[in-house]
Structure 1
Amino acid sequence: MPTITVLPHAELCPEGDVIEVAAGTSVCEALLDSGIAIEHACEMSCACTTCHVVVREGYASLGDPDEVEEDLLDKAWGLTPVSRLSCQAIVAQTDLTIEIPKYTINHARENH
Protein backbone atom coordinates (compact mmCIF):
# COMPACT_ATOMS: atom_id res chain seq x y z
CA MET A 1 0.00 0.00 0.00
CA PRO A 2 1.45 3.41 -0.93
CA THR A 3 2.28 5.97 1.74
CA ILE A 4 2.09 9.73 1.92
CA THR A 5 4.81 11.41 3.94
CA VAL A 6 3.51 14.75 5.17
CA LEU A 7 6.25 17.23 5.96
CA PRO A 8 5.78 19.19 9.20
CA HIS A 9 3.27 22.06 9.08
CA ALA A 10 3.14 24.33 12.14
CA GLU A 11 -0.65 24.22 12.54
CA LEU A 12 -1.96 21.14 10.75
CA CYS A 13 0.74 18.55 11.39
CA PRO A 14 3.57 19.90 13.58
CA GLU A 15 5.51 16.63 13.72
CA GLY A 16 4.81 15.55 10.16
CA ASP A 17 3.27 12.15 9.51
CA VAL A 18 3.45 9.06 7.33
CA ILE A 19 0.07 7.64 6.34
CA GLU A 20 -0.88 4.55 4.39
CA VAL A 21 -3.45 5.12 1.70
CA ALA A 22 -5.27 2.96 -0.80
CA ALA A 23 -4.44 3.64 -4.43
CA GLY A 24 -7.25 5.57 -6.08
CA THR A 25 -7.77 7.86 -3.08
CA SER A 26 -7.27 11.60 -3.41
CA VAL A 27 -4.50 13.14 -1.34
CA CYS A 28 -7.08 15.41 0.31
CA GLU A 29 -9.27 12.47 1.39
CA ALA A 30 -6.24 10.63 2.73
CA LEU A 31 -5.15 13.63 4.80
CA LEU A 32 -8.62 14.21 6.20
CA ASP A 33 -9.10 10.50 6.99
CA SER A 34 -5.84 10.62 8.93
CA GLY A 35 -6.89 13.59 11.04
CA ILE A 36 -4.89 16.22 9.14
CA ALA A 37 -7.42 19.02 8.72
CA ILE A 38 -6.31 20.46 5.40
CA GLU A 39 -8.61 23.21 4.21
CA HIS A 40 -11.04 22.26 1.47
CA ALA A 41 -13.47 25.15 1.21
CA CYS A 42 -15.16 23.89 -1.95
CA GLU A 43 -15.72 20.40 -0.50
CA MET A 44 -13.23 18.86 -2.95
CA SER A 45 -15.04 19.98 -6.10
CA CYS A 46 -12.02 21.64 -7.78
CA ALA A 47 -13.44 25.13 -7.34
CA CYS A 48 -10.87 26.76 -5.04
CA THR A 49 -7.21 26.41 -4.06
CA THR A 50 -7.40 25.88 -0.30
CA CYS A 51 -6.25 22.25 -0.52
CA HIS A 52 -3.10 23.14 -2.49
CA VAL A 53 -0.07 20.94 -1.73
CA VAL A 54 3.47 20.77 -3.06
CA VAL A 55 4.43 17.24 -4.09
CA ARG A 56 8.11 16.96 -3.14
CA GLU A 57 8.45 13.30 -4.19
CA GLY A 58 6.30 11.15 -6.44
CA TYR A 59 4.79 13.94 -8.54
CA ALA A 60 5.22 12.00 -11.80
CA SER A 61 3.04 9.16 -10.47
CA LEU A 62 0.00 11.43 -10.25
CA GLY A 63 -2.20 11.87 -13.28
CA ASP A 64 -1.74 15.11 -15.21
CA PRO A 65 -3.75 18.05 -13.88
CA ASP A 66 -6.60 19.10 -16.13
CA GLU A 67 -7.05 22.62 -17.44
CA VAL A 68 -9.45 23.65 -14.65
CA GLU A 69 -6.98 22.57 -11.96
CA GLU A 70 -4.10 24.31 -13.73
CA ASP A 71 -6.10 27.55 -13.97
CA LEU A 72 -6.93 27.40 -10.25
CA LEU A 73 -3.35 26.60 -9.28
CA ASP A 74 -2.29 29.87 -10.91
CA LYS A 75 -4.08 31.59 -8.01
CA ALA A 76 -2.58 29.45 -5.22
CA TRP A 77 -0.21 30.92 -2.64
CA GLY A 78 3.30 29.47 -2.96
CA LEU A 79 2.77 27.86 -6.36
CA THR A 80 5.62 25.64 -7.58
CA PRO A 81 6.10 23.48 -10.68
CA VAL A 82 5.10 20.46 -8.55
CA SER A 83 1.97 21.98 -6.98
CA ARG A 84 -1.35 20.15 -7.09
CA LEU A 85 -4.80 20.56 -5.63
CA SER A 86 -4.92 17.67 -3.20
CA CYS A 87 -8.58 17.01 -4.03
CA GLN A 88 -7.56 16.27 -7.63
CA ALA A 89 -4.28 14.41 -7.00
CA ILE A 90 -5.13 10.71 -7.00
CA VAL A 91 -2.64 8.37 -5.35
CA ALA A 92 -1.29 5.62 -7.60
CA GLN A 93 1.10 2.86 -6.45
CA THR A 94 3.98 5.23 -5.71
CA ASP A 95 4.81 6.75 -2.32
CA LEU A 96 4.43 10.53 -2.10
CA THR A 97 6.03 13.24 -0.01
CA ILE A 98 3.95 16.39 0.29
CA GLU A 99 4.26 19.79 1.86
CA ILE A 100 1.20 21.77 2.88
CA PRO A 101 1.92 25.46 2.21
CA LYS A 102 1.93 27.82 5.15
CA TYR A 103 -0.87 29.99 3.75
CA THR A 104 -3.95 29.71 1.56
CA ILE A 105 -5.96 32.42 -0.16
CA ASN A 106 -9.01 31.49 1.91
CA HIS A 107 -9.81 34.69 3.79
CA ALA A 108 -12.75 33.20 5.66
CA ARG A 109 -12.03 29.75 7.03
CA GLU A 110 -14.91 27.32 6.98
CA ASN A 111 -15.71 25.12 9.96
CA HIS A 112 -14.19 21.87 8.65
Structure 2
Amino acid sequence: MPQIILLPHHEICPQGAVIEAEPGETICDAALRQGIDIEHACEKSCACTTCHVVVREGFESLNELDELEEDLLDKAWGLEAESRLSCQAVVGDEDLVVEIPRYTLNHASERH
Protein backbone atom coordinates (compact mmCIF):
# COMPACT_ATOMS: atom_id res chain seq x y z
CA MET A 1 0.00 0.00 0.00
CA PRO A 2 1.51 3.37 -0.98
CA GLN A 3 2.20 6.04 1.61
CA ILE A 4 1.52 9.74 1.36
CA ILE A 5 3.98 11.87 3.26
CA LEU A 6 2.33 15.19 4.01
CA LEU A 7 4.83 17.95 4.68
CA PRO A 8 4.13 20.17 7.70
CA HIS A 9 1.37 22.77 7.28
CA HIS A 10 0.90 25.41 9.98
CA GLU A 11 -2.84 24.68 10.47
CA ILE A 12 -3.76 21.36 8.89
CA CYS A 13 -0.89 19.16 10.12
CA PRO A 14 1.80 21.17 11.92
CA GLN A 15 4.04 18.13 12.46
CA GLY A 16 3.46 16.69 9.00
CA ALA A 17 2.01 13.21 8.62
CA VAL A 18 2.56 9.84 6.98
CA ILE A 19 -0.65 8.14 5.89
CA GLU A 20 -1.47 4.97 4.00
CA ALA A 21 -3.43 5.24 0.78
CA GLU A 22 -5.32 2.70 -1.24
CA PRO A 23 -4.33 2.62 -4.90
CA GLY A 24 -7.23 4.17 -6.79
CA GLU A 25 -8.33 6.61 -4.09
CA THR A 26 -7.66 10.32 -4.28
CA ILE A 27 -5.12 12.15 -2.18
CA CYS A 28 -7.98 14.11 -0.61
CA ASP A 29 -9.97 11.01 0.35
CA ALA A 30 -6.89 9.31 1.82
CA ALA A 31 -6.07 12.39 3.90
CA LEU A 32 -9.63 12.90 5.12
CA ARG A 33 -9.90 9.22 6.07
CA GLN A 34 -6.82 9.67 8.26
CA GLY A 35 -8.13 12.82 9.96
CA ILE A 36 -6.15 15.32 7.87
CA ASP A 37 -8.68 18.06 7.19
CA ILE A 38 -7.80 19.19 3.66
CA GLU A 39 -10.10 22.00 2.59
CA HIS A 40 -12.58 20.86 -0.09
CA ALA A 41 -15.27 23.53 -0.42
CA CYS A 42 -16.93 22.02 -3.52
CA GLU A 43 -17.36 18.62 -1.84
CA LYS A 44 -14.69 17.10 -4.13
CA SER A 45 -16.60 17.81 -7.35
CA CYS A 46 -13.71 19.56 -9.17
CA ALA A 47 -15.42 22.94 -9.00
CA CYS A 48 -12.93 24.97 -6.91
CA THR A 49 -9.24 25.03 -5.98
CA THR A 50 -9.39 24.75 -2.20
CA CYS A 51 -7.85 21.25 -2.17
CA HIS A 52 -4.84 22.30 -4.25
CA VAL A 53 -1.63 20.46 -3.33
CA VAL A 54 1.89 20.27 -4.74
CA VAL A 55 3.17 16.74 -5.28
CA ARG A 56 6.91 16.98 -4.51
CA GLU A 57 7.65 13.30 -5.20
CA GLY A 58 5.68 10.68 -7.10
CA PHE A 59 3.85 13.12 -9.41
CA GLU A 60 4.28 10.88 -12.47
CA SER A 61 2.53 7.97 -10.74
CA LEU A 62 -0.77 9.88 -10.49
CA ASN A 63 -3.55 9.73 -13.05
CA GLU A 64 -3.41 12.29 -15.86
CA LEU A 65 -4.99 15.71 -15.43
CA ASP A 66 -8.16 16.29 -17.39
CA GLU A 67 -9.04 19.60 -19.04
CA LEU A 68 -11.36 20.76 -16.25
CA GLU A 69 -8.72 20.22 -13.56
CA GLU A 70 -6.10 22.02 -15.70
CA ASP A 71 -8.44 25.00 -16.12
CA LEU A 72 -9.16 25.20 -12.39
CA LEU A 73 -5.50 24.87 -11.44
CA ASP A 74 -4.82 28.05 -13.42
CA LYS A 75 -6.79 29.84 -10.68
CA ALA A 76 -5.00 28.22 -7.72
CA TRP A 77 -2.78 30.24 -5.40
CA GLY A 78 0.88 29.24 -5.64
CA LEU A 79 0.51 27.12 -8.78
CA GLU A 80 3.56 24.98 -9.63
CA ALA A 81 4.34 22.45 -12.34
CA GLU A 82 3.56 19.61 -9.89
CA SER A 83 0.26 21.10 -8.68
CA ARG A 84 -2.86 18.97 -8.53
CA LEU A 85 -6.32 19.19 -7.04
CA SER A 86 -6.18 16.55 -4.32
CA CYS A 87 -9.81 15.58 -5.00
CA GLN A 88 -8.85 14.58 -8.56
CA ALA A 89 -5.32 13.18 -8.05
CA VAL A 90 -5.69 9.40 -7.93
CA VAL A 91 -2.97 7.50 -6.07
CA GLY A 92 -1.11 4.83 -8.00
CA ASP A 93 1.42 2.31 -6.66
CA GLU A 94 4.18 4.76 -5.64
CA ASP A 95 4.69 6.70 -2.42
CA LEU A 96 4.01 10.42 -2.61
CA VAL A 97 5.41 13.49 -0.90
CA VAL A 98 2.73 16.18 -0.81
CA GLU A 99 2.81 19.81 0.25
CA ILE A 100 -0.39 21.63 1.15
CA PRO A 101 0.10 25.27 0.17
CA ARG A 102 0.02 27.82 2.97
CA TYR A 103 -2.86 29.72 1.38
CA THR A 104 -5.87 28.85 -0.70
CA LEU A 105 -8.39 30.84 -2.67
CA ASN A 106 -11.58 29.93 -0.88
CA HIS A 107 -14.82 31.65 -1.74
CA ALA A 108 -16.92 29.30 0.38
CA SER A 109 -15.75 27.10 3.23
CA GLU A 110 -17.30 23.81 4.33
CA ARG A 111 -16.41 24.75 7.92
CA HIS A 112 -19.30 26.58 9.59
- 5+ residue gaps, structure 1: none
- Could you say what the CA RMSD is over the residues aligned between the two structures, in angstroms? 1.0
Where 1:24 maps in the other structure, the secondary structure is: coil
**Distance apart, 1:63 and its partner CA:** 1.3
Instruction: Give every structure 1 segment of 4 or more consecutive aligned residues whose post-TM-superposition deviation is greater than 6 Å.
Output: none
The amino acid across from 2:63 in the alignment is G
Identity %, equivalent residues: 66
Give the Cα separation in 1 of the matches to 2:111 and 2:104.
15
Give the Cα separation in 2 of the matches to 1:88 and 1:107.
19
- Counterpart position of 2:90: 90
**Distance apart, 1:111 and its partner CA:** 1.6
- Counterpart position of 1:74: 74
- 5+ residue gaps, structure 2: none
- Counterpart position of 1:109: 109
- Counterpart position of 2:57: 57
- TM-score (norm: length of structure 2): 0.97
The amino acid across from 1:111 in the alignment is R
CA contact (8 A) 2:41 2:108 kept: no
- Counterpart position of 2:3: 3
Where 1:43 maps in the other structure, the secondary structure is: coil
Deviations 1:38-59 (A, max 9, x none): 1000000000000000000000
Number of residue pairs aligned between Structure 1 and Structure 2: 112
- TM-score (norm: length of structure 1): 0.97
